[in-house]
Structure 1
């Protein structure tokens, strides 16, 4: 069954417009320095997108690359999926462990109609039913409009955020905290958003924290979560200053909010919002529960209907931001003294999809592979992700392997050789320093675990 996603206020079907890197960068044109900066930014984005395709972060295709660049859910490759999983896991940990009273929830699409609050609902419409209506030539304009309206009202809605679901969960969850404020409800998953200028909805991975607090502390809690979220993004960055926060101007505030803050990343084409924080007051909560103040009241020194602070993020755009921030291009000389450009994805150790690559040097292939298999199993039991390079059948030089693993963002390359069979010693190369060290095979698991753990605690 083919379905379309439409805005309930507009019965027309809106086509998606094409998006290009050049369009995203065109506002930087005007001065020589700006043009130079534009070309550098354009090159950076092109190199990153090609690298993401070549190194299994996203699937090939222009449309897929455009979705990825726009911060929308795309067709991810194995490394892209692992990176997104790691990022969501880190988000969940940071939110649920930063405060004692944050609980995870999983809500369904809300059936409540929010159009009275100025919200536009997105609905899934079966294309065949819509075609049948449009082909009824005997219908006049008013009859046609009426049938389309009925079809829209009977079609399921899709959500653009998780706020409503959390508001509906407030009453069941408030007993869990013995009616004591503050506390929060967290959720992650796919949502839809209408694309700017085209009206064509697309999926993206959203994170949501809805924080219930007393009216007198809501502004302080907005400041708290702003600091916490900005610190979290900067933790994973090579260039922390590319991540920033800014107050949303009064004229840009949504109807229900008294304050708003954006967490943004400075892409080559300009700033894009990664997370948005709103101080939403109590009006939505009262409307959701039909103004039943008595069952909504909680304690935080005094009884009151809580105010809501929301933190919503786009993790697909966040993933693009962290990849862009981690890509480094450096010139180096190869073994033949030729100048080459070295591309490295210096992803944070806890986010890197692959922690270690296992390869074999010269020696008896069967015996060396057996050692690799044993070490792979040992590392996987410790939940250290491994790339089994030793299974590669095409002869490749170590320089080529190192270049490949650097572009994949692999933290360490471990080479098992005849020396390992004789003495237990192996060679370990660091992605970030390119230094090669000799280490006993019995030490490698402990070394990797301590390295990743130390990076996580910084």
Structure 2
């Protein structure tokens, strides 16, 4: 037994320090430990039935998590959340930007809009900014290099080694840079913003936009995009309150992520370990989501002190001084940075429900439904019509569609699709459509129609004049919770 234990420890060491497991989360690490030890036990002639059962369960857990991920990513491609193809599913899976379809674009926009409102309306002194994505001649950033010019230099056999180096340096010097984060732009705009706030602290600068990252070999090999959409708040405050503000924004951000969640407990926060602190930060906190493969950060908050701000402005301490009571101080920086592409994926996973449902012939089939929060759902209502006077029913549908659009309620014109009602319900559930409104001959006779709720599947009879008001109240009530 001792020999088997020692062998297990050796195997664990080999795997835990390999590139495959370097960034593994606690859940996956625990799974690997359990699985490796049980495998060694099974290789011996004296393994017990309990070990076999535990290994079977470990395999089952991994397979179910993999199945859930596959199911969601396929659904996203089939229902126009993302463009079809492995490149896009892999990019989204790894928290990078992908090509979003119509529904994915609207979902992402809704998340960004809610993020922006939660930040800029939470405090009076939060201002929006918009900085350049491409910065000329910034030696410290990623460069956009003309590959044809690069190839001409490399392949020119008449150039000496030193000449090649010189020309490559010139090419890099004249190439534009792309930003890798939104922090630097806010730090640069701090100085001109001081006059706006009369040099009184605290105040914040918020921004959303595309940033680029240097991909590691694994992500580059599978075709991941270097882009990701980030959301940033840079909060300038007095040194004595910086720690308190970090705690404040941590609570506020966690509360916000949980507000739109079907399962809020999947979102949590934790301190960044000291060895992983970045940019001279004295403390960091992560707001994470528990994906099937483990927890990943959605937003990271840093207490950066004054060093990064001073570095950006050439240590011009006198120009940066602000009022803190009777004292003059250089602002300390609390930075909030979010990966909104990963946020989209988190809400998709959190809303996916796989429900077993019996058909009329008592056959059991699986109902896939995206129970997205009413505020985030790309489509609020779908309009369908039953059999009957087609021309008249379509006119009613078109009238309702116009009425909903004028009330800023997103609508899907399902009455234009030649599918059965069951097929449409399956499609709408996977699209996350909140309600389906069914127009029928009954509507033409007495104004009554059916409204199906996505979450409960209950169909309610309602007068056509009441539908718009009912939908508005439902969506507004959900947003104000």
Q: TM-score, normalised by structure 1?
A: 0.90
Q: Distance in 2 between matches of 1:37 and 1:300?
A: 55
For 2:305 and 2:163, locate their aligned partners in 1 and report how far apart those are by CA, in whole Å: 42
Q: Which residue of 2 aligns with 1:39?
A: 63
In structure 1, distance between residues paired with 2:476 and 2:219: 44
Matched residue SS, 1:439: strand
Does 1:319 pair with 2:344?
yes
In 1, the alpha carbon distance for the partners of 2:317 and 2:124 equals: 26
Taking the aligned partners of 1:285 and 1:34, their CA distance within structure 2 comes to: 49
For the pair 1:387 / 2:407, whether they are aligned, the reply is: no
CA contact (8 A) 2:246 2:301 kept: yes
- The answer to whether 1:192 aligns with 2:215 is no
Whose helix fraction is larger, Structure 1's or Structure 2's? 2
Q: Work out the CA distance in 1 between the residues paired with 2:467 and 2:219.
A: 52
Rate the CA distance shift 1:141–1:33 in 2: closer, same or farther, 3 A: farther
* RMSD, matched Cα: 1.9
Aligned to 1:9: none
Residues 164-221 of structure 1 deviation map (CA, whole Å, 9 limit, x = unaligned): 1111111221222121111100111111012234585611111011100001101111
Task: Check the 8 A contact 1:182/1:300 in 2, yes or no.
Answer: no
The Cα offsets for residues 72-121 of structure 1, whole Å up to 9 and x where unpaired, read as 11111110000011010000001001111111110114558574xxxxx2
Q: Cα offset for 1:242?
A: 1.2
Q: Check if 1:447 corresponds to 2:460.
A: no
Answer whether contact 1:122 1:158 (CA < 8 A) is retained.
Answer: yes
CA distance in 1 between partners of 2:112 and 2:161 (Å): 48
Q: Pick which of 24-33 and 422-431 moved more.
A: 24-33
- Residue in 1 that maps onto 2:443: 420
> Is 126-135 or 194-203 further displaced after alignment?
194-203
Query: In structure 1, what is the Cα distance between the partners aligned to 2:328 and 2:131?
Result: 28
Q: TM-score, normalising length from structure 2?
A: 0.86
Would you say the 8 A contact 1:58–1:77 is kept in 2?
yes
Instruction: Name the residue aligned to 2:52.
Output: none
Alpha carbons 2:137, 2:175 under 8 Å: kept: no
Instruction: Select the residue among 429, 434, 437 that pairs with 2:460.
Output: 437
Secondary structure at the residue paired with 1:351?
Answer: coil
Greater relative CO (CA pairs within 8 A, separation 6+): 1
Q: Name the counterpart of 2:227.
A: 203
- Three-state SS of the structure 2 residue aligned to 1:125 is coil
Following the alignment from structure 2 to structure 1, what is the Cα–Cα distance between the partners of residues 259 and 28?
31
2:368 is aligned to: 343
24-33 or 147-156: bigger deviation: 24-33
- Report the counterpart of residue 135 of structure 1 in structure 2: 155
Q: Is the 8 A contact 1:110 1:165 kept in 2?
A: no
Contact 1:293 1:305 in 2 (8 A): yes
> What are the equivalent positions in structure 2 for 1:221-370 lying under 5 Å apart?
221-301=245-325, 302-370=327-395
Deviation readout 1:282-303 (Å, 9 max, x if unpaired): 1121122222222211123232
Find the residue that maps to 2:304 and give its secondary structure.
Answer: strand
SS of 1:166 mapped into structure 2: helix
SS at match of 2:384: strand
The worse-fitting range, judged by mean Cα deviation, of 364-373 and 397-406 is 397-406
Is the CA contact (8 Å cut-off) linking 1:64 and 1:75 kept in structure 2?
yes
- Secondary structure at the aligned position of 1:207 is classed as strand
Is 2:279–2:308's contact at 8 Å kept on the other side of the alignment? no
**Are 2:153 and 1:126 equivalent residues in the alignment?**
no
Q: Partners of 2:130 and 2:263 in 1: how far apart?
A: 34
Q: d(CA) in 1 for partners of 2:384 and 2:392?
A: 13
**C-alpha spacing 1:322/1:374, structure 2 compared with 1 (3 Å):** same
Task: Supply the distance in 1 between the matched residues of 2:190 and 2:445 (Cα, whole angstroms).
Answer: 64
Q: By how many angstroms is 1:26 displaced?
A: 7.9
Deviations 1:415-458 (A, max 9, x none): 01111111111100000111110011111111111101110111
Q: Which moved more, 1:41-50 or 1:31-40?
A: 31-40
Distance 1:176 1:247 in 2: 34
Which moved further from structure 2: 376-385 or 190-199?
190-199
CA apart distance, 1:229: 0.6
1:113-163 Cα shifts (integer Å, max 9, x gaps): 574xxxxx2101000110001112233434323322222222111011111
2:114 to 90, 99, 108: 90
Specify the SS of the correspondent of 1:194.
coil
Q: Number of matched residues?
A: 430
Aligned positions of 1:58-137 closer than 5 A: 58-108=82-132, 109-110=134-135, 113=138, 115=140, 121-137=141-157
Q: CA contact under 8 A between 1:332 and 1:342: conserved in structure 2?
A: yes
Inter-partner Cα distance in structure 2 for 1:386 and 1:199? 37
